Amino acid sequence: MFNLNMSVNPYLLSIAIAVLLYCIMLRFRRDSPKQSKALPCEKGLPLLGVVLKVSTFPERAMEKWGKKHGPLFAIRVGWMNVVVIGSQEVAYEAFAKNDCFNDRPQSIPLISDGNGIVLINSTDFHREQRRFGLFTLREFGMGRKSLEPQLIDTSYDLCDTIASMCTSKTGSSDPFPLHTYISTTVSSVISRMVFGHVIGTENKQLQEFFARLQNPEIRKASSFLRGATMFAPFLRHLPYFKGQWEKGIQFQHLCHDGIKAEILDHQRSRDPHNPRDFIDCFLNEMEKSDSAANPDSASTWKHSVMSSDEVQECSSDWKAFSSFHINQLVAIVRDLFLAGSETTATSLSWIVLYLCKYQGVQKKMQDKIDDVIGQSGIPKMGLMDKMPYVRSVIQEITRLRPIAPLNVPHKASRDATLMGYHIPKDSIILTNIWAIHHDESKWPKPDEFLPERHLDKNGKFIKSPDWILFGVGHRSCLGQQLAKMELFIMTVALFQRFNFTLAPGENPDMKGRSIITLHTHYYDVVATKRY
Ligand code: HEM
């Protein structure tokens, strides 16, 4: 029947074997899309997806969908599937145990021009910069006792300013926006670490940049632009977005020019043997990488401060041989400053707001502070263990109102599998910190303000793995030790000295305002001296 002597074309035979082997390999490959399941998906409307449902409080909408689909699902945004993680366990699996979910999606150039730290991909460049950033901030006191005196002084300065607003007759102030003062105080801490001093009127560009950052309308527009262009980059070519995009770029130039002026001052006055701040340390590192990697280029031209346009032209050449170059210095300083100021200031604003609303908790916390340090003691980090109630109040308020309710977005760097589900390369991944902080199985009565839930039966503070204010894994917050110090010392200092109440007639909606970050509504307080 068969002609066994039929001649076989060896070329075709080898192709057939290769195809067969490839099919077998695909079948058994661990991350094969065919092997892993497709994520459950909240599809929403045709073309739009869920866009209309996530324009305000997206974290709450995603929390609801999470109850339907489980702790890992997708939402359709336009034509794109965005992955949403809704449990601490899945977040650890994705970001701490894996290395393929730690890239960042790209959006407006202000925050993602390929340099910096917060929005760059998870490459060796990022790892080197993160290691250097952590090391250097620690050298300047992050998480260490050496920073304590400065933080205490700064907090006391804030208290003195508030005290000067209180009349001697009643001991109370007129209503005032405490958030503005907190913002200035917090910015001054990161300013000193990065610039070596507090930015004053001598740096007009940075002053203007900070003033605009405080403007709620600008913040809202920028958050909206950032969110929209992250999911649909083409939007920036459409009329409204184009205008906003260009404003974003001008805003970036303002910030970068201000930072460059600071760098120029540092270049003129620095002593390489006595680095004063982050900028000096980075300039030292630039010098080292110059002489090690490129001895011929140790000249000053590369490190002189350039205009924004020149910087764009030159950046790719510089990146070729070192992660320490002037563009990166400008960008990492910008990122540290942006990441390190409003986050902590807004968390403190939530703390003050909740304690104004819940006067009983404020009083109890003050009693506990009095028990440990009285009226004249100093709020040191070493006293944290003696003030578990203060810590539990801070943890409870930041659980209820995390500043980044959907975390900073991550991106999959390749096709991969997570909890048995296929995650395609380039998927945007959101972590619903809000939902994790409101998970009923971990936090009974999750919407209620119950600081005691963070204390064990002996009154000791409980660190919970389900409190993930700073994210988890390889991209978690680089400044968390600093933020924790600031939150503790400033909370104790403020409530040791004052009672705070909401100004008469104030009743801010406790849901706050959420686009990408979760802010309080604007509110005024009245401060009353306690002694
Ligand atoms: C209460 C205050 C703060 C909160 C709630 C907060 C929260 C966060 C979160 C949620 C992330 C993203 C984590 C992730 O992608 O998985 C992050 C990243 C980051 N934070 Fe913070 N942060 C705070 C304060 C600070 C401070 C004071 C600094 C600066 C010294 C800082 C610097 C950074 C940086 C550089 C990153 C990016 C890390 C990376 O991508 O490798 N943050 N933060």
DSSP code string of 52-98: GGGSS-HHHHHHHHHHHH-SEEEEEETTEEEEEE-SHHHHHHHHTS-
Say if the ipTM goes beyond 0.85.
Answer: yes
According to the model, what pLDDT value does residue 306 have?
42
According to the model, what pLDDT value does residue 113 have?
67
Residue (of 291, 259, 294) closest to 278 by Cα position: 259
Q: Taking all residues of the chain, what is their mean pLDDT, rounded to a whole number?
A: 86
According to the model, what pLDDT value does residue 357 have?
98
According to the model, what pLDDT value does residue 209 have?
86
475 alpha carbon to ligand 1 midpoint, in Å?
A: 9
Q: Which numbered atom of ligand 1 lies nearest the CA of 407?
A: 10
**Is residue 340 within 6 Å of ligand 1 at its C-beta?**
yes
According to the model, what pLDDT value does residue 316 have?
44
pLDDT, mean of residues 179-185: 93
Q: Which two tokens stand for residue 295?
A: 């001895």
Query: pTM of the predicted model, to two decimals?
Result: 0.87
Instruction: Name the band, by pLDDT with cuts 50, 70 and 90, for residue 298.
Output: very low
With 60 as the cut, is the pLDDT of residue 111 above it? no
Instruction: Name the band, by pLDDT with cuts 50, 70 and 90, for residue 106.
Output: confident
**Is residue 113 within 6 Å of ligand 1 at its C-beta?**
no
**Is residue 119 within 6 Å of ligand 1 at its C-beta?**
no
**Is residue 285 within 6 Å of ligand 1 at its C-beta?**
no
**Is residue 482 within 6 Å of ligand 1 at its C-beta?**
yes
Provide the 10 A C-beta neighbour count for residue 412. Answer: 21
According to the model, what pLDDT value does residue 514 have?
86
Percent of the chain residues topping a pLDDT of 90: 67
Beta carbons of 373 and 496 less than 8 angstroms apart: yes
With 70 as the cut, is the pLDDT of residue 8 above it? no
The Cα 461–Cα 388 span in angstroms is 5
476 alpha carbon to ligand 1 midpoint, in Å?
A: 7
Among the listed ranges 312-326, 351-365, 442-456, which one has the minimum average pLDDT value?
312-326
Q: Which of the listed residues 92, 469, 477 should we mutate to test ligand 1's pocket, taking the one with most ligand atoms within 8 A of CB? A: 477
**Is residue 331 within 6 Å of ligand 1 at its C-beta?**
no
According to the model, what pLDDT value does residue 469 have?
98
**Is residue 335 within 6 Å of ligand 1 at its C-beta?**
yes
**Is residue 283 within 6 Å of ligand 1 at its C-beta?**
no
pLDDT digits (tens, 9 = 90+) for 302-321: 344 444 444 444 444 444 45
479 alpha carbon to ligand 1 midpoint, in Å?
A: 6
pLDDT, mean of residues 223-249: 73
Backbone torsions φ then ψ of 85, nearest 5 degrees: -100, 130
| DSSP 8-state symbol, 140 | T
With 90 as the cut, is the pLDDT of residue 252 above it? no
**Is residue 337 within 6 Å of ligand 1 at its C-beta?**
no
CA atoms within 13 A on the CB side of 332: 29
Backbone torsions φ then ψ of 37, nearest 5 degrees: -80, 160
The Cα 254–Cα 458 span in angstroms is 53
With 80 as the cut, is the pLDDT of residue 474 above it? yes
Q: Residue 20, SS3? A: helix
477 alpha carbon to ligand 1 midpoint, in Å?
A: 3
According to the model, what pLDDT value does residue 25 have?
47
According to the model, what pLDDT value does residue 307 have?
41
With 70 as the cut, is the pLDDT of residue 446 above it? yes
Q: Which numbered atom of ligand 1 lies nearest the CA of 431?
A: 16
Instruction: Name the band, by pLDDT with cuts 50, 70 and 90, for residue 461.
Output: very high
Instruction: Output the residue whose Cα is nearest ligand 1's atom 31.
Output: 479
